[in-house]
Amino acid sequence: MVFPSQTTRFLQYTLQSSLSYSSKVNLILTILVHTATSRISGFCWLIDEILYRQQLNALSITEPLFVLSAYRSASTQMARTLARDTKRFVVPNAIMCAFPYLWLWKLVIWLFGDSDISTEEANRYLNKNFTQEALERHDNNHFEIDTFDGYFLSSHLNGLAFQLGSGVIEKEFNCARFEEWNRSLFEESFVEHVDRIARKTLLYNRVDAASDQRFMLKGHFLQSADALRKRYPDGCFLSVLRDPMDRLQSGINHMAVNATLWQGKAPDWNSLAEAFQKIEVEYCEVEMDWYSADDTKRLAVKFDDFVKHSQKTMTRVYRGLLDCNIDDIPRVDMTAKGPKLYAVNKSLKELGVDEAALKQQVARYYAWMKKQ
């Protein structure tokens, strides 16, 4: 549920912003409605605790895998490739993350399990409010694993940061670090949420202690990595390393065409470019430190290796990170993709980014990335 402190803070952001009077009124109403309706989400969550608490608490989460990578790094493709190995992994799909209620998952299966509706038809219906530009940037398959923290943050107020300028984006939607006032959100609430989702997913899939299956989650929640490592000492962490300039350009364009962030308004390209440059530099530093640790449970692989040498890269993941026998590694069938043509694709130059200066800021990251 939305914290009262979040509501107060976002109301203050709104009142202090340079938005027009009508935009301020609309955003204030959005904040208040979101806060009020989050109590319904809390009630739905409580139903799970009433019905399944003992069963959930009896489960153990052993060696979970977190595909924890930067925005626009091919982490979704990596996670979906791994998720095809259903003998080894159980995952919550996008709908399960958006509606994290075990009783609802079971109810939907009971109501629609025997229907003739295909996942393709369901996806088309669920994607009807997304623009073509947004669907070009991200494969919105609601029945596959996707970015978990996006759903978590949208259940709070953090997604409204994009209405409030670069400073608020940097403070409230920064996957590299958090402000002190968000410590409990990312170190406590987020980790508790992950733990409950993991248990619900295991129970839903009837995974018991004798199973070789492990829970997997994918996202960009580097700001919670230390807390997750503390909660799951045997947990594994995997990142895909892509050129920061490519990530930055793709990330800004992706956020700009995501209509759900802008509520019908034109995207603020300047705020996106300003905020995401700072976040990218911070992310490079934090990710480098995190994955440089002397820890066999952390692995970073390069984007180019994953795309061009898929089987070799996945063998490295299975052998080096997951400690699997060579005979247990599935064959990877990666369909070659040509360069994508986007309807909206501003260059870094068009976005006002000094690419040479930014590369200099992350020079240490480039050098580290080459060694992986």
Q: Do residues 241 and 301 touch, judged by C-beta distance below 8 A?
A: yes
Helix (H) or strand (E) holding 121: helix 119-126
Q: Do residues 316 and 84 touch, judged by C-beta distance below 8 A?
A: no
At 203-231, the pLDDT tens digits run 999 998 778 899 999 999 999 999 999 99
Examine the pLDDT at 266 and tell me if it is beyond 80. yes
Residue type, 44: C
Q: What is the pLDDT of residue 272?
A: 96
Residue type, 10: F
Q: What is the pLDDT of residue 72?
A: 94
Mean per-residue pLDDT over the chain, rounded:
94
Q: What is the pLDDT of residue 117?
A: 85
Classify domain 63-371 by CATH architecture.
3-Layer(aba) Sandwich (3.40)
Q: DSSP states of 259-327 as a string?
A: HHHHTTSPP-HHHHHHHHHHHHHHHHHHHHHHHTSS-TTEEEEEHHHHHHSHHHHHHHIIIIIS---GG
At 96-133, the pLDDT tens digits run 999 999 999 999 999 887 888 888 999 999 999 888 89
Q: Do residues 242 and 78 touch, judged by C-beta distance below 8 A?
A: no
Residue type, 156: H
Residue type, 247: R
